[in-house]
Amino acid sequence: NAGVTQTPKFRVLKTGQSMTLLCAQDMNHEYMYWYRQDPGMGLRLIHYSVGEGTTAKGEVPDGYNVSRLKKQNFLLGLESAAPSQTSVYFCASSYWGGGRTDTQYFGPGTRLTVL
């Protein structure tokens, strides 16, 4: 049971390049999330999904897109990277809130630098 995994662990992009971050979970969780973590600002929600085929905007969605084609995977895309997107990105997942634990389990993170 690997929990939540993220690919890649590190990436350096040039301004304007695109990339996709992959999150995978093997806990059969319904809900998945993408956060970014910047110094002094905690974790801010980018996008989230409440089930396969669904996505919704979080607190800071601009410049990002997501897809949840399979229940176990949640992809985060940057179409045209900007230096302001330099950050550590965390994926998380949780059970459906009703009647079960609400604990969000985090992946190991992806450190992205945009030059």
Partner 1 sequence: GENVEQHPSTLSVQEGDSAVIKCTYSDSASNYFPWYKQELGKRPQLIIDIRSNVGEKKDQRIAVTLNKTAKHFSLHITETQPEDSAVYFCAARTPTGGTSYGKLTFGQGTILTVHP
Binding site for partner 1 (CB under 8 A): 31, 40-45, 48, 50, 58-59, 90, 96-98, 102-109
CB 74 within 8 A of CB 55: no
Distance in angstroms (rounded) separating the CA atoms of residues 3 and 23: 10
* CB closer to partner 1, 22 vs 106: 106
* CB closer to partner 1, 17 vs 61: 61
Query: Cβ of residue 33: shortest distance to partner 1, in angstroms?
Result: 8
Query: Cβ of residue 43: shortest distance to partner 1, in angstroms?
Result: 4
Strand-pairing partners, residue 24, are 5, 73
Query: Cβ of residue 8: shortest distance to partner 1, in angstroms?
Result: 15
Query: Cβ of residue 61: shortest distance to partner 1, in angstroms?
Result: 12
Q: Based on C-alpha coordinates, what's the Rg of the chain?
A: 13
CB 77 within 8 A of CB 18: yes
Pairing of strands 4-7, 19-25: antiparallel
* CB closer to partner 1, 80 vs 103: 103
